[in-house]
Amino acid sequence: MRWGKGNPAVKLGTLVTMLERKVGTKKLPEGSIVFATTNLGAEGVGDIIPPHARNRMSVVTMRKSDATEWIDYGINNNFHPSVLGFVREFPQVMQGFEDVKNPELTTRTSTTPSINAPPLLPHAHWKLRVIGFTNVST
């Protein structure tokens, strides 16, 4: 779930799990780590972390893999060869939005098609934040 896009009521409900480490009346096992993901605010896609929640969590921007590293991971984890071949042929699918200098020239919705645009791969340009929640009791 992309937590930042969630319905406000769902966000409030899940904060109990994230901050108090319990679901309903059941406590999570000792040492449990609760995390969520969301898009970067700079992407302008409406992911919002309410201030009262944000000041009680740790926000970490994850490093993205390059194509070679991702393919190596895929080989070692039995990814389908056609997916690995696609990434090898079109390594730019591993780029984030901030890596593209002229995004209007490389998108499928552009009126000026680009020879460098790969076939459409849903969610290929998503970059996620991992939000780690910590207990702030004193």
pTM here? 0.51
pLDDT tens for 4-62 read: 888 888 888 888 888 888 888 899 999 888 888 887 777 777 788 888 888 888 888 77
Cβ-based burial of 36 (10 A; exposed 0-12, middle 13-18, buried ≥19): buried
Residue 76: pLDDT above 50?
A: yes
